[in-house]
Amino acid sequence: MTHWSGRVSELVYYLTAILLVMAALAAWLSTLLTLPGNWLIAAMAACFAWVFPAGLAVAEVDSRPGLSWTVVGVLVCLAGLGELVEFLAGSAGAARQGASRRAMALSLVAAMIGSLVGAVMMSPLLPLIGTLLGAVLGGSAGAFGGAYLGEWWKGRTAAERVSVGSGALVGRLLGTMAKFLVGAVMVAVLSVALCL
């Protein structure tokens, strides 16, 4: 009876693990919409580790598969790294061109709005690819527009506004791609850890 319950427990674990990886992939893609997808991956992994902790014995001879809290800690650190890299890249792009705090703040807000608008506008053209591409392009355009508006508000010249806006656009693109790559590493770490 213990052997049978061990097999059922293992089956439930692997089915749930597959669902977790699928949800992690969706969360990873949501980072392109400026949503906190990487943090969502870490949170889902923490919930999974709480339900299926690593190393609990099902029978005396074998142990039930599970997710260790060390892996969850690594995922949290990676999510923090992704946020830091995105913030530094976005800020550095605009700051390097002499952006004001107002321009950087407006650039961040406009990038979030632009990303959502871009995703909605491009989704009818190409359902998945269009949504993701629209999110990235809309976010970058929003970063440019927000920085431009912030510098206009400060009374800067048109050349300065374009320079700061361009820096914000490039920084936004680089930051988004870096955070997206960190999210890919998170999904890979989670997938491997679930199989061990």
User: Does residue 126 carry a pLDDT above 90?
Assistant: no
Query: Residue 192: pLDDT above 90?
Result: yes
pLDDT band at 88 (very low <50, low <70, confident <90, very high): confident
Mean pLDDT of 40-46: 97
What integer pLDDT is reported at residue 61 of this predicted model? 43
* Distance in angstroms between the alpha carbons of the first and the last residue of the chain: 25
pLDDT, tens digit, 9 for 90 and up, residues 129-167: 888 889 889 999 999 999 999 999 988 899 999 999 998
The pLDDT tens digits for 56-83 are 544 444 556 789 999 999 999 999 999 9
CB proximity list for 42: less than 8 A, separation 6 or greater: 72, 75, 76, 78, 79, 186
Looking at the predicted structure, is the pLDDT value of residue 11 above 80?
Answer: yes
More confident residue, 109 or 7: 109
Report the alpha-carbon distance of residue 124 to residue 84 in Å, rounded: 33
Look up the pTM and report it.
Answer: 0.79
pLDDT at 5: 58
- pLDDT value of residue 152: 93
Instruction: Please give the Cα distance from 27 to 31 (Å, whole number).
Output: 7
Identify the band that residue 9 occupies on the pLDDT scale cut at 50, 70 and 90: confident
